Chains A and B, each alone.
Chain A
């Protein structure tokens, strides 16, 4: 209680604290992967995203948190234009992927999604063999050579830390695997298209704690080579695995900063209320 009062009353003190912390951790400005400028999105009449400004950096794990219905899933689905599968969606403003507006009419959505892969909330492997699941992406992009496909499948499954569990049964149906394994198959399937960014829409919400831990460890390994955006309901998860966190509320970005700052010294009262569990 006393601490809280000090925090609220002494803003200047907090700012100087921040400046003191920054150089110690030695944070380098990285390249921007996704630059969001004045982005708005409507589902019919419902204004779901309001004036979003958000820069997602290379090789960061960016977590998006917020209560249900705050627009966090909508935002991540806007990043690969998956949101357009809903026919009544309208957008304004820009989301620039590597400097190019993805909503530009000349931007082919297939090209974008080859660079920006996605892992979904519910594991959704195809009812095919494990091998065919992983080879799906390379095949649609025209790779037919069996040897190359074999290599991609092995590399992707190793990348998703599931190779040892499935290497002897690549020809079995992916539906025979457990939920956690299915989700890692989906991550491997996403790696097989060699994306630049991986979007994860609550990837562990349907998984048990041990499978969740495995996926979290995997995210930590993947960030060396990929930029990752992860939507999560679980604040501890955001705190554990992300470099930066954006807090969404009612379609707006309330706060976006380094994860340790968001969770230790949030600037906005609403962020503090949310992360301390007072609502949501």
Chain B
């Protein structure tokens, strides 16, 4: 007695293959739509902004006149901001990840911390802006400075860096640690000589991607009251500054049509910066990744 009847199988074959094809088409359309949106965005931005991209655009400060408006203060401000965020968030983030993965015993308390870190990654950025306003701007009197904004942004991306670093550290095989401990190495020696060298590509990749998120972020800066337009360069970590996304936002909301083109030029600069950062992340991942 056979349970599978060949004639029934053949009868259903056609409709099964049809369903198969249908879903393939759906997924292809989904992918195409995303690509299409990206292509339209790029074409629009490039056609509007390219003519405004010249040396003056990089070398001028903001202006009431579109042809004189430049991005110097915003570009320098964004780079300064990164210089604060990168060390602060990486030292705190990697340190936390090492503690949680290598030192902390697994118990209810560490599970609770772990859960909260994952949840923090999903908290809206404007909430971090309010936190930064309360703690850094008001309580620590840092005002609208690069330092206040940098520390706020560091908090914002800290959970992402912690989780990325934890995953990179966890990916180092147990056997590697055993080999090191087996020769009488201390925990610290094992971390610095075996675990971190193997985990650093993953840690750097995650950190750079998180950093690019911070560079494109606007909401926390709006809450902190960071000015959108400035006529001078910051001279220390405590001076006022502006950033690319804020400057672009200011241009985009102006009524004059020419400013739309200036905004587009600003977006090209911001996207260029992000492409460079992501390329560095991909390069590091491909070049230094260790295979076991």
Set of chain A residues within 8 Å of B179, measured between Cβ atoms: 120, 124-126, 186, 189
Would you call A110 and B182 a contact (CB within 8 A)? no
Would you call A140 and B178 a contact (CB within 8 A)? no
Q: How far in angstroms is the closest Cβ of chain B from A80?
A: 7
Which among B62-70, B184-192, B226-234 touches the partner chain?
Answer: B184-192
Set of chain B residues within 8 Å of A118, measured between Cβ atoms: 178, 182
Residues of A164-194 contacting chain B, CB below 8 A: 175, 186, 189-190, 193
Known: A124-B176, A127-B198, A186-B179. A141 touches B106 (CB 8 A): no
B290 CB within 8 Å of chain A:
yes
Count residues on chain B whose CB falls below 8 Å from chain A CBs. 22
Known: A87-B106, A140-B189. A120 touches B178 (CB 8 A): yes
Would you call B183 and A140 a contact (CB within 8 A)? yes
Would you call A110 and B186 a contact (CB within 8 A)? yes
Count residues on chain A whose CB falls below 8 Å from chain B CBs. 26
Set of chain B residues within 8 Å of A87, measured between Cβ atoms: 105-106
Q: What string of 1s and 0s marks CB contacts (under 8 Å) between B199-227 and chain A? A: 00000000000000000000000000000
Would you call B176 and A126 a contact (CB within 8 A)? yes
Q: How far in angstroms is the closest Cβ of chain A from B162?
A: 21
Q: What string of 1s and 0s marks CB contacts (under 8 Å) between A153-171 and chain B? A: 0000000000000000000
Q: How far in angstroms is the closest Cβ of chain A from B287?
A: 14
Set of chain B residues within 8 Å of A125, measured between Cβ atoms: 179
Main secondary structure of the interface of B (DSSP, over half): helix
Would you call B183 and A137 a contact (CB within 8 A)? yes
* Residue in contact with A127 in the complex, picked from B105, B106, B292, CB distance below 8 Å: B292
Chain A residue with the shortest CB-CB distance to B292: A127
* Residue in contact with B175 in the complex, picked from A112, A117, A122, A175, CB distance below 8 Å: A122
Would you call A140 and B193 a contact (CB within 8 A)? yes
B181 CB within 8 Å of chain A:
yes
* Residue in contact with A140 in the complex, picked from B105, B175, B184, B292, CB distance below 8 Å: B184
In angstroms, Cα B183 to Cα A82, docked, is 11
B96 CB within 8 Å of chain A:
no
Q: What string of 1s and 0s marks CB contacts (under 8 Å) between A97-119 and chain B? A: 00000000000001111100110
* Residue in contact with A120 in the complex, picked from B175, B189, B291, CB distance below 8 Å: B175
Would you call B290 and A113 a contact (CB within 8 A)? no
Chain A residue with the shortest CB-CB distance to B105: A87
In angstroms, Cα B179 to Cα A122, docked, is 11
Would you call B182 and A82 a contact (CB within 8 A)? yes
B84 CB within 8 Å of chain A:
no
Would you call B184 and A110 a contact (CB within 8 A)? yes
Chain A residue with the shortest CB-CB distance to B177: A85
Would you call A193 and B178 a contact (CB within 8 A)? no
In angstroms, Cα B263 to Cα A239, docked, is 81
Would you call B184 and A141 a contact (CB within 8 A)? yes
Set of chain A residues within 8 Å of B198, measured between Cβ atoms: 127
Would you call B292 and A85 a contact (CB within 8 A)? no
B194 CB within 8 Å of chain A:
yes
In angstroms, Cα B103 to Cα A87, docked, is 11
In angstroms, Cα B180 to Cα A148, docked, is 21
Known: A87-B106, A127-B198. A140 touches B181 (CB 8 A): no
Q: Which one of B175, B183, B186 has the greatest number of beta carbons of chain A within 10 Å? A: B183
Q: Which one of B105, B177, B179, B193 has the greatest number of beta carbons of chain A within 10 Å? A: B179
Q: How far in angstroms is the closest Cβ of chain A from B114?
A: 16
Residues of A39-68 contacting chain B, CB below 8 A: none
Q: How far in angstroms is the closest Cβ of chain A from B106?
A: 7
Would you call B178 and A136 a contact (CB within 8 A)? no
* Residue in contact with A193 in the complex, picked from B173, B183, B189, B291, CB distance below 8 Å: B183
Q: How far in angstroms is the closest Cβ of chain A from B166?
A: 17
In angstroms, Cα B179 to Cα A85, docked, is 12
Would you call B181 and A82 a contact (CB within 8 A)? yes
Residues of B within 8 A of A (CB): 105-106, 173, 175-186, 189, 193-194, 198, 290-292
Additional A-B contacts beyond A124-B173, A137-B184 (17; CB < 8 A): A82-B178, A85-B177, A87-B106, A113-B182, A113-B183, A113-B184, A114-B183, A117-B182, A118-B178, A118-B182, A120-B179, A122-B175, A124-B176, A126-B179, A126-B194, A137-B183, A175-B292
Residues of A within 8 A of B (CB): 80, 82, 85, 87, 110-114, 117-118, 120, 122, 124-127, 136-137, 140-141, 175, 186, 189-190, 193
Q: Could you write out 25 A-B pairs with CB less than 8 Å apart?
A: A82-B178, A82-B181, A82-B182, A85-B177, A110-B186, A111-B184, A113-B181, A113-B184, A118-B182, A120-B182, A124-B175, A124-B176, A124-B179, A125-B179, A126-B194, A127-B292, A137-B184, A140-B180, A140-B186, A141-B184, A175-B291, A186-B179, A189-B179, A190-B182, A193-B183
